[in-house]
Every structure is written in C-alpha cells, then in structure tokens.
Amino acid sequence: MRSAVLAVLPFALLAIPAAHAQEADRFTLRLGALNAHAETTLSASTTYQDQPYRFSETFDFGSEEWVPRVDGVFRMGDRHRLVFDYFNYDKKRRETLGEDISFDDTTIPAGSYAEAGLDFQLATLVYDFAVVENDSFSLGLQIGAEWAKAKATLVAEAGDDRWTDSASEDGYAPVVGVRFTARPGERWLLNLQGQYLDADWGDFNDYDGSITRANAIAEYRFNPNFGLFAGYEWYRLDVKRSVSGDGIRDGIAGWDQRFKGPVVGVTLAF
C-alpha cells in the first residue's frame, strides 16, 4: 500500500488544478467515527519432538462497529506541523449453544457460551515537515512516536463451570510517515496519509512485527472554522513472538489484526 501511494503521488500533483489561496489554519481538530470491520488471524509454527506443526485460522468479530477516531494538526510555521491521531476499537462477540452437545460421557448444555473481547488503542504524535508547500498542495514527511495497546479477553461458561482469561500488551516506538494534502477548490481539501512502525525500533518487549496505517479523507468547509469530512481508514497490526517449552524448539506465535472501513466526522479549525 505504501508503494502504491508513492507511485500515484506524482500523477496526482499534475492532475490537481490550482486553487485560490486560503489562509492557513493554525489549529485543526477532526472528530469522527470509523465504521470498523475487524479481522483477526492467529498463527503458530513449531517443532515438537522433531515433528513440524503449523496452524493458521482467521476469526471475524462480526458486524461493523462505530469506533472513535480523533486527529489534530498544529501548524507551527509554513512548513512545520505537529500531527496527532487516536484510534480505539473495543468490541465483544458471544457465541451461544442453541442445543445440547454430547460426546463420550460429556454433555455441554444449551445456553453455554464463549465470549471473546478485543480492546485495541493506537495513539500517534509526529512532526511533519512539508518538503513541498504551495497554495494548491503540500507534501510532508513525518517522524515521531506511536503508542499501541491491545487487550484480549475470553469468558466461557458451560453449566456450572466457568473459565476466564485475559492478556494485555502495550508499548511505544518511533514511527515514520508521509502526508499529501491538496486543495482542489476554495472550500475543498483532500488529505492522504500513511505511517509505519517496526516493533524492533521501540519498547514492545520480545515481540517482533509492525504496525501500518493509511487513510484518505475529503473535507468540505462551510466556513473557515467548520466543515465535514468523509474518507476511508485502514490499520494493520502484525506481530510475532517466540515461544518455547518442553520438547518445543523454534516456536513462533503470530497475530495479524486488521481494521478497515469508512470514516465520517466534523472539522473544527482556528
């Protein structure tokens, strides 16, 4: 996706007509919601007692969920910006047995259930330097820090038996990105942004992997201080962790988590 964005940018620059000059906003705040579809892929590979084993399964959290999305831009000069982004996905999914299930001498009664929950948060603060800045468009390169936290929970109940488990990890690391902003008209703004983080760059304990995000929005200003925007967001968390135990060597557990969907919201500018 990053390669595709970079390949399209030169053509986008040529295609954008000149716009009337606008007074630059000192501070811009976008408050919105993402209609997120979440998809999880769990994988594992290991060698146990000299036999290789591999596992991969994709899980769907069901229907889309409206989740908060916030970003802000503080313009410190013609080419200098601070950009902040925050995203939070928190959802549970429950599966319930509609009838008894029996195998051997064990019966799982109707009404038994398993409920999985996922709470993922991502916050980013970057410095953005505009390598190109004029009245029609701006192209910026970004560097900063990103914080991520993921918490997974599982609750299962069968008859009088109940099981609960949870795991939570968080960390931070440097992040790099690219931004392209165009003004095709006096009231219109188009903004494309992509960012990348490698877990090896920061403090994610013994996890390896990456976090990638990309978004595109179109914004319409009713006046200099208020507008509406709509677009599309895509996030990917791809992590792996080495595991070991009795008889196990070179074990790797993987988690590929993706969020995507349309985003809408309001813009406040000062």
Cα-based torsion angle of the residue sequence 219, 224, 227, 233 in order, rounded to the nearest 10 degrees = 40
For 270, counting Cβ atoms within 10 Å of its Cβ (0-12 exposed, 13-18 middle, 19+ buried), the class is exposed
- Does residue 61 sit in helix, strand or coil? coil
Report pTM.
0.77
Cα 45 from Cα 4, distance rounded (Å) = 31
Query: What single-letter amino acid sits at 31?
Result: L
**Pick from 191, 196, 202, 192: which is nearest to 177 by CA?**
196
How far is residue 235's CA from residue 247's CA, in Å, rounded to a whole number? 36
pLDDT digit string (tens) for 172-204? 899 999 999 999 998 999 999 999 999 888 777
Give residue 66's Cα distance to chain centre: 14
pLDDT in tens, the chain (270 residues): 445 444 444 444 444 443 333 457 899 999 999 999 988 887 777 766 677 777 677 777 667 889 999 999 999 999 999 999 999 998 887 777 666 666 656 666 777 777 778 898 999 999 999 999 998 999 999 999 999 998 888 788 877 778 787 778 888 899 999 999 999 998 999 999 999 999 888 777 767 889 999 999 999 999 999 999 999 999 998 887 766 655 545 667 777 889 999 999 999 999
Contact criterion met (CB below 8 Å) for 251 and 242: yes
Tokens 């760059």 -> residue: 201
